[in-house]
Amino acid sequence: MKRTVLTILALASIFSLSAQQLQLKYSNFDQWITRDIKESKIIGGATRTLYEVGPSGTWNGSVPYVNQGGSPWANSNIMAKVAGVTKSNVSVYREKRGSGYCARMTTHVVGIKVLGLVNVHVLAAGSIYLGNMMEPITSSSNPMRYLDYGIPFTARPSAVQFDYKVKLSGKSGRIRQTGFSPIKSVAGDDHPSFILLLQKRWEDAEGNVYAKRIGTAIQYFTKETADWVNGAKFKIYYGDITGSNYYKPYMNLFQGGDDQKYALNSKGKMVPVREVEWGDANDAPTHLCLQFASSHGGAYIGAEGTTLWLDNVKFVY
């Protein structure tokens, strides 16, 4: 009898460990790291508080952040150092929810005033994603190349589940505002979104990274919610989905443009992840990409005020 009990306990611990490995750490968003960053005097010298998903604690000073405590999560809160000037952006916030916290992502315009004379305004969306932010940001040109997008992952969940709440901007249309060129109108209204990609990646001798798309779940939230939608499940579709009723053009392979994805290769260089074809529906992935964003159009595109709240992300098997 004793041996039987020990065997059951051993099996239970194994299955528990496996279940933990199949889920994402810190995905209830109850633990956050705060960062207080002092910006340069030439742009006002304010101290900004940035938030990172990870073990409760602080990471202060103008020091590039790296993921802590095994957290797989990064976000669009960043520290930039351009020509010796330190600047930060906050578009993801820790927000109280019940006895814990949730994440709030919002699209807003970031203003930079140099010596009280030169004003630069940039549209920034809030996003949380799996991967790393390669701080410090040293240029506003092609900001996507600082996002090391995706994590190693070999499981095959049937769906992703999370709680969410949506507030739309109330504005018709979108804009593209980079701060260094005239504001441009962009067709279509702004919506929060989430993107889940299961990829099978490989790297060639020159360090180029390629991928087959194994699994897909992409959703635009086109309607505002009166309150939280709890436990929403979104099916993950495997293989080539271009002929299915579920397929939308925005679910196609990512092959460049404003929303090109990047990753750190084995040579320590950030390179585009080139999705070259659809993979077999029964194939095993090597990487998981998961991103939640307050706007769906790519860098500098959106409508101010669009907001997405997120909590309790988990996979269904």
Q: DSSP for 268-304?
A: S-EEEEEEEEE--TTPPPSEEEEEEES-SS-TTEE-T
CATH number at residue 290: 2.60.120.890
CA distance 115 to 123: 21
Residues 144-166: pLDDT tens digits? 889 999 999 999 999 999 999 99
Question: What percentage of the chain carries pLDDT values higher than 90?
Answer: 74
Burial (CB < 10 A; 0-12, 13-18, 19+), residue 277, is: exposed
pTM: 0.89
Residues 202-232: pLDDT tens digits? 999 999 999 999 999 999 999 999 999 999 9
Report how far apart the first and last C-alpha atoms of the chain are (Å, whole number).
Answer: 33
Q: Is 95 inside a domain boundary?
A: yes
Q: Is 78 inside a domain boundary?
A: no
CA distance 313 to 317: 13
Q: Is 171 inside a domain boundary?
A: yes
Q: Is 10 inside a domain boundary?
A: no
- Positive or negative CA dihedral for 150, 156, 162, 168? positive
pLDDT over 60 (residue 288): yes
Q: Contact at 8 Å (CB) between 154 and 284?
A: yes
What band does 15 get if pLDDT is binned at 50, 70 and 90?
very low
Residue closest to 304 by CA, chosen among 193, 196, 173: 173
CA distance 254 to 287: 15
In total, the chain counts a number of residues equal to 317
Q: Is 80 inside a domain boundary?
A: no
What order do you get walking across the sheet with 32-38 strand by strand?
A: 47-53, 32-38, 57-58
Q: Is 81 inside a domain boundary?
A: no
Read off the pLDDT of each residue in 30-56 and give the average, rounded to a whole number.
94
Q: Is 3 inside a domain boundary?
A: no
Give the three-state DSSP class for 78. strand
Q: With the CA atoms of 250, 254, 259 and 265 taken in that order, what torsion angle do they form, in degrees rounded to the nearest 10?
A: 160
Distance, CA of 107 to chain centre: 14
Question: φ and ψ at 43, to 5 degrees?
Answer: -115, 20
> What integer pLDDT is reported at residue 10 of this predicted model?
37
Query: Hey, how many other C-beta atoms are within 10 angstroms of the C-beta on 216?
Result: 24
Q: Is 201 inside a domain boundary?
A: yes
Cis omega (within 30 of 0) for bond into 136:
yes
> What integer pLDDT is reported at residue 119 of this predicted model?
60
Print the domain residue range for 175: 89-107+120-316
pLDDT over 70 (residue 296): yes
Q: Cα separations (Å) of 200 from 3, 23, 40, 235? A: 42, 19, 43, 19
Question: φ and ψ at 78, to 5 degrees?
Answer: -135, 155
CA distance 59 to 1: 51
Give the three-state DSSP class for 156. coil
Read off the pLDDT of each residue in 298-314 and give the average, rounded to a whole number.
95
Element (H, E) at 311: strand 307-316
Question: φ and ψ at 280, to 5 degrees?
Answer: -70, 140
Element (H, E) at 109: strand 108-114
pLDDT over 50 (residue 12): no
Strands 85-89 and 78-82: antiparallel
What total of structural domains would you count in the chain? 1
- Positive or negative CA dihedral for 303, 309, 312, 317? negative
Strands 32-38 and 57-58: parallel
